[in-house]
Amino acid sequence: MNKTIHGHIAAFLTILIWGTTFISTKVLLRSFEPVEILFIRFMIGYMALWCVCPRRLNIRERKQEWYFAAAGLCGVTLYYLFENIALTYTLASNVGVIISIAPFFTVIFSCLFLHDKRPKTRFFVGFLIALTGIFLISFGGDKDLQLNPMGDLLAVIAAMIWAAFSTITKKISGFGYNTIQTTRRTFFYGLIFMVPALFLMDFHIELMQFASLKNVLNLLFLGFGASALCFVTWNLAVKILGSVKTSVYIYMVPVITAVTSALILHEKLTMTIILGIVLTLIGLFLSEDRKTEKHTAKAKEYKVYAGTK
């Protein structure tokens, strides 16, 4: 049970930081292009993980390397590129809602590729309630719902890519390697796959962009916190809780974003947004299916007790 609690803490800490990264990104977009921010933050994260754990990861089986390459391609390169491109076609609120369906795709991928058991009705009820809450948070202010087929489709693809990343991460966790080393390996492939995008997009770094202390501090926050730390804690949570239970915490991102917007940017919290926050938290609680966890823990205790007889 202590291990399970550590998994939930790791997932919550990850989402707590990821939910506030929009502020740093918003500041940096005044001086940097999206692809420049993406490359710099993961390069900082990669170097930070080398400093924390300077030992080289020795792969036992060559075919395992393909999983690390796939994780880097999905979780680092494709997800963020699709999300950023989607934001150029549609509203950020649309993307926020659509990305939140990632846990649904995670269930599908986990059942198909990891042969996990199909979640009970409780999960899907929680999913619908949380999605309703996220919708209210995203459009509960002065924003109007606007459908943009191209951007919305790209956001759906991004959600599917993140679900694939979570599923691959669960597979990697079964290899028994150090979480920091596996995360660093994932970053390496993510940066490699990102290189072609640098030539296709407007990537042009100048020293003047780093003259502002505000820019430097925000890049360090994204590199050390949102990349190095958060991907390690996310992978740790997936290792302990599984890809489905961990992905459910994605519901919390719009909640944290709404609260931090009110506290830091002084944006208004309407009654609709507050209702959305409450519904999202209820949906999260239902989707976590904590009763199952308790029954599983009791069953394990009974087996241990029976084994001593």
What pLDDT digit, counting tens, does each position of 93-130 carry? 677 778 888 888 998 899 888 888 888 888 889 889 98
Pair of tokens at residue 293: 């966890």
pLDDT of residue 237: 94
pLDDT of residue 71: 96
Dist CA 236 CA 12 (whole Å): 12
CB-count burial class (<10 Å; 0-12, 13-18, 19+) for 71? buried
Helices 271-288 and 121-139, packing angle to 10 deg: 160
Pair of tokens at residue 145: 């719902």
Alpha helix stretches (DSSP H) within the chain: 2-18, 21-28, 34-52, 64-71, 79-89, 92-99, 102-113, 121-139, 149-173, 179-200, 213-220, 230-241, 243-247, 252-264, 271-288, 290-308
Choose among 96, 100, 106: nearest CA to 143.
Answer: 96
Alpha helix stretches (DSSP H) within 100-177: 102-113, 121-139, 149-173
pLDDT of residue 83: 84
What pLDDT digit, counting tens, does each position of 150-188 carry? 888 888 899 999 999 999 999 999 999 999 999 999 999
The CA distances from residue 31 to 4, 26, 28, 202, 219, in Å, are: 42, 10, 6, 13, 12
Alpha helix stretches (DSSP H) within 248-289: 252-264, 271-288
What counts of helices (H) and strands (E) characterise the chain? 16, 0
Per the prediction, the chain carries an average pLDDT of 85
Pair of tokens at residue 186: 């994932």
Dist CA 132 CA 128 (whole Å): 6
Which segments of the chain have a pLDDT < 70? 1, 91-93, 141-147, 265, 289-309
pLDDT of residue 264: 75
Choose among 216, 299, 285: nearest CA to 248.
Answer: 285
pTM: 0.83
**Residues 6+ positions from 85 with CB-CB distance below 8 Å:** 154
pLDDT of residue 35: 86
Dist CA 166 CA 239 (whole Å): 10
pLDDT of residue 293: 47
Sign of CA pseudo-dihedral 135, 102, 283, 274: negative
Choose among 29, 46, 45: nearest CA to 37.
Answer: 29
Q: Do residues 251 and 134 lie in contact, with contact meaning Cβ atoms separated by under 8 Å?
A: yes
